Amino acid sequence: MQQHIGPDFPWKSKNNKDNGVFRHLDSNKWFGLIINGRRGLVTKDDDEQNVDIINLKSNTLPVDGQSVFPAYHMNHKYWISVVLDDQLDDDDVMRLIDESFHLTGKQG
């Protein structure tokens, strides 16, 4: 079965041109936003380490303050930010991506 997923790079500014979203092609809804930025964006401190971050919709909200945080620049009630720095197991990251995909898909 073909998944209806497509990457999109909607920002044209120099600072954001590499940030991308993953969307459902049938509804155009986002289920993931990938950015590269300072770790301090999610830790809310002065940590300058550059990291990749993915924002995902989640019902489980497994915020741990190490790899998973309230979402940067999105609704903290429904979205999380996951720092992609190998602290969180790949299987857990994929589970969270899958959950976000299903939560943002067409509702029956």
Question: Residue 55 — pLDDT band, cuts 50, 70, 90?
Answer: very high
> Distance between alpha carbon 91 and the CA centroid of its chain, in Å?
15
Element (H, E) at 7: strand 5-8
- Whether the per-residue pLDDT at 1 is higher than 50: the answer is no
Round to whole Å and give the CA distance between 78 and 97. 14
Q: Provide the pLDDT for residue 49.
A: 93
Q: Provide the pLDDT for residue 108.
A: 42
Q: Which CATH number fits domain 5-103: 2.60.120.310, 3.30.1340.10, 3.60.110.10, 3.90.1150.30?
A: 3.90.1150.30
Tokens for 46?
């002065």
- Whether the per-residue pLDDT at 20 is higher than 50: the answer is yes
Domain ranges for the chain: 5-103
Round to whole Å and give the CA distance between 73 and 60. 19
> CA-CA distances (angstroms) from residue 75 to 6, 57, 86, 91, 92?
23, 9, 25, 25, 21
